[in-house]
Amino acid sequence: MKQIFKTAVCSLMLLLPIVSIEASIVGESVSVLSEDRVTDKMKSAIRDYISERLQKDPIRIHIKEISPILTGKILAESDIVKVAQGPAGEEGRGLMGRGTFLLSVKQKNKEVKSHWVTAEVSVARKVLVATRPIKRKERIDPDALTSLTVYQVRPDEFYAETREDLLGKQAQRLILPGAPITMDMVEDSPVMSKGDRVTLFVEADGVTVSATGQVKEDGFLGRQIGVIPAGGNKPIYGKVVSASKVKVEF
């Protein structure tokens, strides 16, 4: 009986180092970052890289569809993850939308390792949208607009962000409610129409001379237009300065 007990004790002692090693391995596996946390560190590195180059607040930069997730490559919170190389492009081109990034991973007392990943980058912006349908050629009414946050993917999308952006504009085509308004959806709105009677005037040495006339075409603020003076048949050209006045400049 004593011999059996002694044999059992010896067997248990032989197993103890193995159990200890297994516990150590298990302990290490618990410390490895989860896939979600690895993803967060990857996104943070890309977000910082984009923020610096676009001069945008990192909170406005949205990263999604990142692949592959570097689980097993990024192991601990102390691992330093940075973008070593980003998409080619200037002034935002290539940095927004789907792009390829070279991530460097530096672990404690280990060499830097690099991994290529892809991700979709967008930037949150507050833009103007219509609250009702705006018909083609209809002058933009500030009361028909409201703000909405959108995620811009293409750098060449020029959104209207303030009501001042749309002052004196009209719709080039039907604008539906809720649609973000880009500047290619609008055009300058004429302040006078063909045949309107306007005041044609010229200033020189503090003296103003004026006459009435009819405009030959629709007139836009700040642009040249032809005006036929009353009793005349040849147009005089001047710059539209208001909805009823054209200034002749020599």
- Please tell me whether residues 78 and 111 are part of one structural domain: yes
- Please tell me whether residues 48 and 110 are part of one structural domain: yes
Identify whether the C-beta of residue 114 lies closer than 8 Å to the C-beta of residue 56: no
Pick from 103, 123, 143: which residue ends a domain? 123
Is 18 inside a domain boundary?
no
Number of domains in the chain: 3
CA–CA separation, 139 and 121 (whole Å): 35
Provide the domain limits for residue 99: 35-123
- Please tell me whether residues 108 and 131 are part of one structural domain: no
- Please tell me whether residues 41 and 99 are part of one structural domain: yes
| 28 pLDDT above the threshold of 50 | no
- Please tell me whether residues 172 and 101 are part of one structural domain: no
Identify whether the C-beta of residue 70 lies closer than 8 Å to the C-beta of residue 119: no
- Please tell me whether residues 113 and 41 are part of one structural domain: yes
Is 3 inside a domain boundary?
no
Lowest-confidence segment of 49-58, 87-96, 140-149, 166-175 by average pLDDT: 87-96
- Please tell me whether residues 109 and 140 are part of one structural domain: no
CA dist 105 → 75, 98, 116 (Å): 10, 22, 11
pTM of the complete model: 0.61
- Please tell me whether residues 166 and 232 are part of one structural domain: no
- Please tell me whether residues 99 and 48 are part of one structural domain: yes
Pick from 188, 207, 224: which residue ends a domain? 188
Q: Which long-range contacts (CB under 8 A, 24 or more apart) does 91-94 make?
A: 91/155, 92/53, 92/54, 92/155, 93/155, 93/156
- Kindly write down the DSSP assignment for every residue of 12-52, as one continuous string: HHHHHHHHHHHHHHHHHHHHSPPHHHHHHHHHHHHHHHHHH
- Work out whether the CA dihedral 54, 59, 60, 63 comes out positive or negative: positive
Pick from 123, 153, 179: which residue ends a domain? 123
Other beta carbons within 10 angstroms of residue 81's beta carbon come to 21
pLDDT (0 to 100) of residue 232: 84
Mean pLDDT of the chain: 84
Pick the more confident residue, 169 or 7. 169
Is 27 inside a domain boundary?
no
Is 7 inside a domain boundary?
no
Is 142 inside a domain boundary?
yes
- Please tell me whether residues 221 and 239 are part of one structural domain: yes
- Please tell me whether residues 111 and 39 are part of one structural domain: yes
Is 138 inside a domain boundary?
yes
CA–CA separation, 103 and 106 (whole Å): 10
CA–CA separation, 155 and 125 (whole Å): 12
CA–CA separation, 36 and 41 (whole Å): 9
Write the pLDDT tens digit of every residue in 161-191.
999 889 889 999 999 999 899 999 999 888 8
- Residues 215-250 as b/e (b if ≥16 CB within 10 A, e otherwise) read beebbbbeeebbbeeeeeeebbebebeeeebbbbee
Write the pLDDT tens digit of every residue in 231-249.
888 899 999 998 899 999 8
Is 1 inside a domain boundary?
no
CATH number of the domain that 221 lies in?
Answer: 2.30.30.760
